[in-house]
Amino acid sequence: WLWRLLAPSRLSARVRGHLAGRRLQRGVRALGEGEWSRAEKQFQIASGGGWSYLGQMGAAFAAQRLGKRSARDGFLQAAESDQEGGLLALWLRLHWRVQEGDGKVGAELEEQLAHLPDNQPLRELAAQLAEQQQDWHRLYQHVKRLPANRVTLSRLRQLWRGRMRMQAEADGDDHSR
């Protein structure tokens, strides 16, 4: 029993896990201090030592703060393979791309919604993207599939109605000339 506990492979795995946990803590501390580069480095090290998901998520956040989009997306894509947290990593990657106005994200978002049609956060992102692109038909298609009790739903419905009124007024003005 004692030999199995102290066996070199188990001991080294435990030590690596402990050291990675300490790196993870240092990364969190560096984030809190606004030391983005140091945080990214600490999280990268932690992700290689048994804390891969949390390390990759932390490194992605730090890379985002540093404006390193490709590194951020790489960390998030690696984190997406995690069974329990992969959906959060996917949502965060798509969310940041929508926030940046990346027009290419629409196809990926629609593809993900084809696999996960009832996922409300992804649906809300798709609605937000449709609003940015002023694609009112697609905005309506996404908004109508969101539950009525969602705060963002009422905001999106109000926005859609307002934009439709503006479009109707603009069309009416053009016809009056």
Q: Is pTM, for the whole model, over 0.75?
A: no
Give yes or no for a contact between 94 and 102, defined as CB atoms under 8 angstroms apart.
no
Query: What pLDDT does 7 receive?
Result: 52
Q: Any idea of the CA torsion for 17, 22, 25, 30, to the nearest 10 degrees?
A: -130
In the predicted model, what is the mean pLDDT of residues 107-134?
91
Give yes or no for a contact between 152 and 160, defined as CB atoms under 8 angstroms apart.
no
Tell me the pLDDT tens digit for each residue of 49-108: 667 888 899 999 999 999 999 999 999 998 998 877 889 999 999 999 999 988 889 999
Q: Any idea of the CA torsion for 20, 26, 32, 37, to the nearest 10 degrees?
A: -90
**pLDDT higher than threshold 60 for residue 177:** no
Tell me the pLDDT tens digit for each residue of 123-146: 989 988 988 887 877 887 888 888
Question: Distance (Å, rounded) from C-alpha 69 to C-alpha 141?
Answer: 30
Is 19 or 59 the better-scoring residue by pLDDT? 59
**pLDDT higher than threshold 50 for residue 172:** yes
**pLDDT higher than threshold 70 for residue 9:** no
